[in-house]
Structure 1
Amino acid sequence: MTIEKHSGLQQIVCECGESQSRTYQADEFDVMVSDARREGFVIAKVAGEWTHTCQDCARPARAQRKLL
Structure 2
Amino acid sequence: MTIEKHAGQQQIVCECGASQTRTYQADEFDVMVSDARREGFVFAKVAGEWTHTCQDCARPARPQGRLL
TM-score, normalised relative to structure 1:
0.87
* Aligned ranges 1:11-50 → 2 under 5 Å: 11-50=11-50
Distance 1:8 1:50 in 2: 22
Instruction: Flag as ranges the 4+ runs of structure 1 deviating above 3 A.
Output: none
Of Structure 1 and Structure 2, the greater helix share is in 1
Give the distance between the partners of 1:45 and 1:54, measured in 2 at CA. Answer: 15
The Cα shift of 1:39 comes to: 0.1
Q: Which residue of 2 aligns with 1:3?
A: 3
Gaps of 5+ in 1: 64-68
Displacement of 1:60? 1.4
Q: Distance in 2 between matches of 1:24 and 1:44?
A: 21
The runs of 5 or more residues in structure 2 that have no matched partner are: 63-68
The match for 1:52 is 52
Deviation at 1:51, TM superposition (A): 0.1
Higher-Rg structure is: 2
